[in-house]
A and B are shown apart, each in its own frame.
Chain A
Amino acid sequence: DGGITQSPKYLFRKEGQNVTLSCEQNLNHDAMYWYRQDPGQGLRLIYYSQIVNDFQKGDIAEGYSVSREKKESFPLTVTSAQKNPTAFYLCASSIARYRPSTDTQYFGPGTRLTVL
């Protein structure tokens, strides 16, 4: 089956710990994205990557880090520097080979992170 997988589905973290969220896709998409969703708020872009070994900060990158060593994988690390990490984290991907304005993003199932 083609798609985007995220793991784990639920994650609990103690304050001061770093945690890494996994995102894998087998859609052969070039671009991948990480968003954060808080109750009553829209999706906010954390990081995105258009191609392997390259990524850019989104609107709320502070306290987060990413890597893109493989086309299929785009893990997100939530560091202890992120002051309010409890949220629903969504990974998305898109083809990104054609006109950027028509590029369509598809989402994985998400990871719900709770800081204890």
Chain B
Amino acid sequence: QKEVEQNSGPLSVPEGAIASLNCTYSDRGSQSFFWYRQYSGKSPELIMFIYSNGDKEDGRFTAQLNKASQYVSLLIRDSQPSDSATYLCAVNPSGGATNKLIFGTGTLLAVQP
């Protein structure tokens, strides 16, 4: 079982819709969770992070964490064609004893105009 799993996609949504990206992780002791956006040929850029169960909102982005079910999701409201990219989920495992991250393989999001 992979440590951090994401559906590779592509996830196709129409412009203006809500895009929902999901990530599951295997280490129950994981402490913190990060979402990065990566445009084709570019490096990852941080969107947001979440540490506590529940929702965290930042503009059009909402991260949702459920530690009991071991999943974290990213919602993008009012999706725009410029949101088309690969979204990487990253997890800090091992009870937070180190600052190493484990990355998923990413979900490709395509927002259709």
Contact = CB atoms under 8 A, between A and B. Distances in A.
Interface string A82-116: 00000000100010100111111111111000000
A73 B51 CA distance: 30
A103 B51 CA distance: 11
Contacts of B32: 101-102
A107 B88 contact: no
Contact of B101 (A41, A50, A105): A105
A40 B99 contact: no
Interface stretch (B10-18, B60-68, B76-84, B103-111): B103-111
Given A101-B31, A104-B34, A40 B42 contact: no
Contacts, number: 64
A90 B90 CA distance: 15
Contacts of A100: 92, 96-99
Given A40-B8, A42-B4, A103 B99 contact: yes
Interface of B: 4, 8, 31-32, 34, 36, 42-46, 49, 51, 88, 90, 92, 95-101, 103-106
